A and B are shown apart, each in its own frame.
Chain A
Amino acid sequence: MFAYVVRRVLATIPVMAVVALFVFSLLYIAPGDPAAVIAGDQATPADVERIRASLGLDRPYLVRFGAWVWDILRGDLGTSIFTNLPVSTMIAQRIEPTLSLMIVTLLLAVSVAVPMGVVAAWKQGTLVDRAVMAFAVLGFSVPVFVVGYLLAYFFALEWDLLPVQGYTPFSRGFWPWLENLILPAIALGTVYIALIARITRATMLEVLQQDYIRTAKAKGVGQRAILFLHALKNAAVPIVTVIGIGIALLIGGAVVTESVFAIPGLGRLTVDAILRRDYPVIQGVVLLFSFVYVLVNLAIDLLYTLFDPRIRY
């Protein structure tokens, strides 16, 4: 078991290295002079030179990469071209809203989607099932900002139930914090709910065909215990895996959701950085999100034993 954990943790190192190399190299994959692109169309040659120097573009590629990795390992993600602040500082200032949004969305999505999928599988072919499947297809098709605007228009503007936009830090109290996150979390969660509900339904349908479910029925076990104890526990591994993989959707969606709801988080930071062509910031955010994503999925892999005693390391 311990050996497995060590091996699994070590196995993420090459993945992270590839991510780092890729994020670093993006600047050079792009056609043209990166300094000129970043400086924009109205830049003077002096501006371009300044950016070239600040990015270290005058040094050889591998030297730059080595220095960059070394900086990252020390927690230094570079310096913003626009604000001249360290990128890590800018990220630290913006991380709370994003983290809050993602946690609320995750909790909301899992607690809605899993029961939805279970019920759909149980009632396969009925109106309930069709409704869940229709929701799932819609959830995949309606982009997050469309859901966001719809929600904000009705719940905030028309019916005045929740704040239109903005963010209140957790330190100002639970409800004010949550109140601002409900609509963004639903908007961001829609596609995630669709994904989890769909995979839950599919896995449950397969599990419900299994012989041991028939055994449980023959024993006189009630419908609820069959679904949520006998079946769901067996379906847990694929569902949890998709919850982990789907976090990529949350990360991508957060960028847009934060714009729609004016939440001052990492997504807004990214969008602002794009408009200012502040590449070190973009690089830092992408790298951070990717590492978080890898680590979350690592944690989920290690949690499998909790759901399935057959998995032995």
Chain B
Amino acid sequence: MSTATLSPGAGVALPAGVNAAAPMPDIMPPVKPKKGFIGFLRRNPTIAIGGFLVLLMVCVAVFAPFLWTKDPTALAPALRTREPSAQWWFGTDMLGRDVYSRVLYGTRVSLTVGFSVAICASLIGLVIGLTSGFIRVADAIIMRIMDGMMSIPSILLAIALMALTRGSVGNVILAITIAEIPRVSRLVRGVVLSLREQPYVDAAVAAGTRTPMIIIRHILPNTLAPLTVQATYICASAMITEAILSFIGAGTPPIIPSWGNIMAEGRALWQVKPYIVFFPAVFLSITVLAVNLLGDGLRDALDPRMAKRL
């Protein structure tokens, strides 16, 4: 029964009486952990794809004048509604303007609105959220107001605000920012309240650390990750809202080429000249998709607990 076997591969006889266990086979292929920057991108393909597309769009916006564009506002009534061709890559609209140039310049409006709203809403929301999380008296009032604002569907709120002001890119940014603030405030307040329950923050408070110090040391670092992710999503939704506002005539003034405006102008002709609507639609969708992918990737990378969930 206790027959001595040889150690596998070693070719050395084992001492008498030593009984080696048979080695166990591998039943699944080995896994190689992915490391380094390339490994990070391979583990987070959404960040890689989203980040690349966002960068591409930023380049398009910055270098629009050098990308074989013409004057996006130059009218040419004789050259109306030309189909896409070698001369007019995306065709011309009903006023003879070059759709390709207008779409490329439109990138500027979308990105400006998206980034500005994301930054402004995050900063203002951060301040409101911190106030609400630390000052109990303010909390009740602020949260009632935020509840009320959140009960107004954000596009309607932006529409109502825009209906009262003259259309300008600045007012569009302002209107969308106001509509997005409640969500950020709630997020920050939630983080603050949950952190205040943490023993180490409790200890810091008990030790007499002053509130600004607690905010800098404990609250801000923990808020940064969810806030970054939220800001990305706000950027995406702001670009859509801007397009919607412009599309229904309550956004960027028609003189400025924005994707929403180009589509609004192409609307009357869309059944016969669908390309006027098609090209800005594709650009808008790809840009928003890129930002959303970036947001999903950041969320997965920054918050492993959430990674599996959404």
Chain A residues within 8 Å of B, Cβ to Cβ: 14-19, 21-23, 26-27, 29-32, 34, 37-38, 137-138, 140-146, 149-150, 153, 157, 164, 198-199, 202, 205-206, 248-249, 251-253, 255-256, 259, 270-271, 273-275, 277, 279, 282-283, 285-286, 289-290, 293-294
Listed A/B pairs (15) with beta-carbon separation below 8 Å: A15-B144, A16-B151, A23-B160, A26-B160, A26-B164, A137-B296, A140-B292, A141-B289, A144-B244, A145-B263, A255-B159, A274-B248, A279-B164, A289-B152, A290-B151
A286 contacts which of B157, B236, B288 (Cβ < 8 Å)? B157
* B277 beta carbon closer than 8 Å to chain A: yes
With both beta carbons as reference points, the residue of chain B lying nearest to A140 in the complex is identified as B292
* B192 beta carbon closer than 8 Å to chain A: no
Contact A22 B285 (CB under 8 A): no
Tell me, in angstroms, the Cα distance from A17 to B160 when the chains sit together.
Answer: 18
Contact A290 B310 (CB under 8 A): no
- Taking CB atoms, residues of chain B closer than 8 Å to A294 are 151
Tell me, in angstroms, the Cα distance from A251 to B156 when the chains sit together.
Answer: 8
Contact A23 B164 (CB under 8 A): no
**CB of B264, distance to nearest CB on chain A (Å):** 9
Q: B145-160: which residues lie under 8 A (CB-CB) from chain A?
A: 145, 147-149, 151-157, 159-160
**CB of A243, distance to nearest CB on chain B (Å):** 15
- Taking CB atoms, residues of chain B closer than 8 Å to A150 are 281
- Taking CB atoms, residues of chain B closer than 8 Å to A253 are 155
Chain B residues within 8 Å of A, Cβ to Cβ: 144-145, 147-149, 151-157, 159-166, 236, 240, 243-244, 247-250, 263, 267, 270-271, 274, 277-278, 281, 284-285, 288-289, 292-293, 296, 308-310
**CB of A252, distance to nearest CB on chain B (Å):** 3
Contact B243 A251 (CB under 8 A): no
Contact B249 A141 (CB under 8 A): no
Tell me, in angstroms, the Cα distance from A251 to B243 when the chains sit together.
Answer: 17
Contact B271 A157 (CB under 8 A): yes
Of the candidates B148, B163, B243, the one having the most CB atoms from chain A within 10 angstroms of its own CB is B163
Given A18-B148, A26-B164, A282-B159, also A149-B288 (CB < 8 A): no
**CB of B298, distance to nearest CB on chain A (Å):** 13
Tell me, in angstroms, the Cα distance from A165 to B100 when the chains sit together.
Answer: 28
Of the candidates A30, A38, A275, the one having the most CB atoms from chain B within 10 angstroms of its own CB is A30
- Taking CB atoms, residues of chain A closer than 8 Å to B165 are 30-32, 37
With both beta carbons as reference points, the residue of chain B lying nearest to A252 in the complex is identified as B155
- Taking CB atoms, residues of chain B closer than 8 Å to A255 are 155-156, 159, 244, 248
Tell me, in angstroms, the Cα distance from A298 to B288 when the chains sit together.
Answer: 32
Tell me, in angstroms, the Cα distance from A161 to B297 when the chains sit together.
Answer: 39
With both beta carbons as reference points, the residue of chain A lying nearest to B278 in the complex is identified as A149
**CB of A303, distance to nearest CB on chain B (Å):** 19
- Taking CB atoms, residues of chain A closer than 8 Å to B310 are 198-199, 202
Contact B281 A146 (CB under 8 A): yes
A145 contacts which of B147, B244, B271 (Cβ < 8 Å)? B244
Question: 11 other contacts beyond A145-B244, A202-B308, A290-B151, with CB at 8 A cut-off?
Answer: A18-B149, A26-B160, A30-B164, A144-B244, A206-B309, A256-B247, A273-B163, A283-B160, A286-B157, A286-B160, A293-B153
Of the candidates B145, B151, B244, B296, the one having the most CB atoms from chain A within 10 angstroms of its own CB is B151
Given A199-B310, A274-B249, also A140-B271 (CB < 8 A): no
Contact B308 A248 (CB under 8 A): no
A138 contacts which of B155, B157, B289 (Cβ < 8 Å)? B289
Contact B160 A149 (CB under 8 A): no
Closest 8 CB pairs of A and B: A18-B148, A252-B155, A30-B164, A141-B289, A248-B153, A146-B281, A141-B288, A202-B309
